[in-house]
């Protein structure tokens, strides 16, 4: 998914190695990286350089904690939603945001 397609007004990133977590404004990230930048690249650029993991030889274990919610929001049908527990939240979000 590209940054410009990310429907939430924020992007959360979290590293399981160093327990750092942050939440950044999507519009600010689009200004910084452009709308066509892939989300995995954005995630890496936000976390890799400043990750405080103990062993720098190991890769940063950053994730996008809201990725499954985004998948549920952008799914065309409920059958396409990977985590069915997010169906109601995704529907509510779409209703509020006109998606």
Taking the C-alpha atoms of residue 59 and residue 66, their distance in angstroms, rounded to an integer, is 21
Q: Point out which residues pair with 24 in neighbouring strands.
A: 11
HEC sequence for 29-82: HHHHHCCCCEHHHHHHHHHHHHCCCCCCCCCCCEECCCHHHHHHHHCCCHHHCC
Q: What local confidence, expressed as pLDDT, does residue 51 receive?
A: 65
Q: What local confidence, expressed as pLDDT, does residue 47 receive?
A: 81
Walk along the chain (99 residues) and give the pLDDT tens digit of each residue: 999 999 999 999 988 777 778 899 999 999 999 999 999 999 888 887 676 766 667 777 788 999 999 999 999 999 999 999 999 999 999 999 876
CB-based burial label for 28 (10 Å; 0-12, 13-18, 19+):
exposed
């Amino acid at each position: 998914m590209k940054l410009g397609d990310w429907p939430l007004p924020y992007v959360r990133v979290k590293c399981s190695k160093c327990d750092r977590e942050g939440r950044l404004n999507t519009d600010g990230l689009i200004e910084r990286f452009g709308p066509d930048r892939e989300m995995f690249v954005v995630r890496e650029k936000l976390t890799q350089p400043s990750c405080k993991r103990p062993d720098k030889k190991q890769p940063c274990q950053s994730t996008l904690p809201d990725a499954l919610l985004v998948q549920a929001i952008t799914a065309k049908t409920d059958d396409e939603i990977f985590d069915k527990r997010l169906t109601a939240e995704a529907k509510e979000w779409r209703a509020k945001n006109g998606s």
